């Protein structure tokens, strides 16, 4: 585990996965079908994590493919706006297109529509990941959607091998999205393989249950993955907090309750807050709580990348909030 923690403390991450465009009706509370105005922002789990890390003072480079059009260029410009290194973001021509997510800034009857047909990011290949100098980074981070199709799946597993050969630990956010996969059985097998190959695994109770084949067995799956003591496994339970398995301990933490505007972006923000907090010298329990605070900040504002905390926002929130809840 020392290799993992030392890698995170470098606060310099290479992140594999998609960048996309988010659209959400304005003003908050509007439904998509009655919208007259839309806000636009950077989206995609891996891009959001990268942006969140940079906003919190870390460094991040993204490896992905984007469509060779104005939407792909928008994504690259937004990555650069947040300080993300986009040198490994490669355009792909033809009919491949960037992901689009249309979601609402409301909790009740929330609607989210994802356009993923012919996704450009799934065209990331072994040449793309081989171009990365992994030794120049402290850790590799990826989210589960990157494994949902070829050639992206094989390329990412190859990146895992290259990172390990360079002594770089792998951090895996399960991030299971059923609509991206051809079958649940395939997803369970591939995501389990990715988890076994990772040094840190972050997922919610349903995702661990999915990998275990039964939602009731999710906690046991998390414990099983943490058995050798060399991994950190974070088992998130929504408003019930999280159980983190690390250094032979089960660390239970609560959340920071807020008036949420939307359910999206929490997981990406949590990851950014968690790893940058470890990098800044906080212990694992405190880092989990700081990640939870970042998630609360993000769901209380419109958008995902724009709503993610920067260092000043996070410290102000922690100073003024009465939480966390007891675990």
From the list 174, 212, 177, the residue with the least C-alpha distance to 194 is 174
State percent of the chain over pLDDT 70: 100
pTM for the structure as a whole: 0.97
Average pLDDT on 57-78 reads: 98
Mean pLDDT score of the chain? 96
Determine, yes or no, domain membership for 327.
Answer: no
Reported as a single tens digit per residue, the pLDDT across 279-324 is: 999 999 999 999 999 999 999 999 999 999 999 999 999 999 988 9
- The predicted pLDDT at position 2 comes to 87
Q: Give pLDDT tens digits for 73-85.
A: 999 999 999 999 9
> Above 90 in pLDDT, residue 326?
no
Note down the domain range covering 132: 2-320
Instruction: Supply the CATH number for residue 130's domain.
Output: 3.40.1190.20
Task: Kindly state whether residue 325 falls inside one of the protein's structural domains.
Answer: no
Number of domains, the chain: 1
- In the predicted structure, residue 171 carries a pLDDT above the cut 90: yes
Predicted local confidence at residue 11, as pLDDT: 98
- C-alpha 205/C-alpha 74 separation (Å) is 34
DSSP for 175-202, please give it: ---GGGSS-HHHHHHHHHHHHHT-SEEE
Q: Is the pLDDT of residue 1 over 80?
A: no
Asked if residue 93 is part of any domain, the answer here is: yes
Q: What is the DSSP string of 82-99?
A: TT-EEEEEEEE-TT-B--
Is 167 part of a structural domain of the chain?
Answer: yes
The mean pLDDT value for 213-236 works out to 92
Cα radius of gyration (the chain): 18
What's the pLDDT tens digit per position in 133-156?
999 999 999 999 999 999 999 999
Q: How far apart are CA 252 and CA 117, in angstroms?
A: 40
Residues 6+ apart with CB under 8 A from 238: 204, 205
Q: What percent of the chain has pLDDT over 90?
A: 95
Banded model confidence at residue 247, pLDDT cuts 50, 70, 90? confident
């Amino acid at each position: 585990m020392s290799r993992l923690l030392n890698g995170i403390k470098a606060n310099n991450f290479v992140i594999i996965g998609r960048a996309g465009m988010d659209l959400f009706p304005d003003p908050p509370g509007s439904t998509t079908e009655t919208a007259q105005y839309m806000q636009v922002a950077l989206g995609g789990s891996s891009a959001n994590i990268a942006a969140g890390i940079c906003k919190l003072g870390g460094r991040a480079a993204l490896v992905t493919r984007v469509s060779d059009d104005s939407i792909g260029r928008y994504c690259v410009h937004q990555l650069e706006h947040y300080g993300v290194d986009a040198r490994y973001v490669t355009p792909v021509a033809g009919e491949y297109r960037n992901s689009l997510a249309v979601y609402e800034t409301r909790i009740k009857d929330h609607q989210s529509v994802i356009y993923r047909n012919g996704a450009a990011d799934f065209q990331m290949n072994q040449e793309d990941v081989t171009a990365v100098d992994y030794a120049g980074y402290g850790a590799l981070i990826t989210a589960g959607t990157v494994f949902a199709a070829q050639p992206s799946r094989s390329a990412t597993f190859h990146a895992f091998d290259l990172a390990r050969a360079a002594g770089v630990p792998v951090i895996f956010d399960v991030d299971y999205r059923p609509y991206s996969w051809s079958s649940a059985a395939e997803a369970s097998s591939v995501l389990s393989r990715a988890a076994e190959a990772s040094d840190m695994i972050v997922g919610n109770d349903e995702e661990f249950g999915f990998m275990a084949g039964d939602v009731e067995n999710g906690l046991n799956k998390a414990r099983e993955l943490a058995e050798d003591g060399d991994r950190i496994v974070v088992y998130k339970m929504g408003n019930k907090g999280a159980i983190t398995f690390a250094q032979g301990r089960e660390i239970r933490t609560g959340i920071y309750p807020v008036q949420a505007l939307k359910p999206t972006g929490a997981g990406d923000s949590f990851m950014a807050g968690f790893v940058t907090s470890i990098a800044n010298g906080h212990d694992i329990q405190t880092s989990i709580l700081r990640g939870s605070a970042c998630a609360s900040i993000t769901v209380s504002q419109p958008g995902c990348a724009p709503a993610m905390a920067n260092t000043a926002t996070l410290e102000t929130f922690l100073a003024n909030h009465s939480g966390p809840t007891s675990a």
